[in-house]
Amino acid sequence: MNQIVRRKESAERRAVRVRNYQRARARAFVRLRKAYPDQYREFLEQEKAKDEANGKAWLDIAGTTANDFSVSLSTHRQDLPPRSTQTNGDEQDEGNVGGEE
């Protein structure tokens, strides 16, 4: 079987597993929130505070975080392409891995 076809089938199976897990997990969270509303709210606030303290909370829809913002001050982030265009997927460029010139 073609390696690309195998990779696609494997990725599809994984996507189905992840989707099913996420749906079940979301329903479990709802049930826990209803069963223990005070404790859920407390944990949620703690986790939000941790994200903000560690600079991991998003500042905008592009996924910019406080860590990105502090780095962008020195690197002029506005000159960089958006994150979605920085990856190259299956069409990865061949790099100079061996040090050839």
pLDDT at residue 2 tops 90: yes
96 assigned to some structural domain: no
Residue 18 belongs to some domain of the structure: yes
Grade residue 101 by pLDDT with cuts at 50, 70 and 90: very low
19 domain-assigned: yes
Domain count, the chain: 1
41-55 mean pLDDT: 93
Question: What DSSP assignment string belongs to 18-70?
Answer: HHHHHHHHHHHHHHHHHHSHHHHHHHHHHHHHHHHHTT-SBSSTT--BHHHHH
For the residues 51-60, what does the mean pLDDT come to? 89
- Residue 100 confidence (pLDDT) above 60: no
Domain-located, residue 43: yes
Query: What separation in angstroms does the CA of 93 have from each of 87, 89, 90, 97?
Result: 10, 10, 9, 11
45 against 87, higher pLDDT: 45
In a domain, 64, yes or no: yes
pLDDT of the residue at 95: 52
Domain that holds residue 19: 3-78
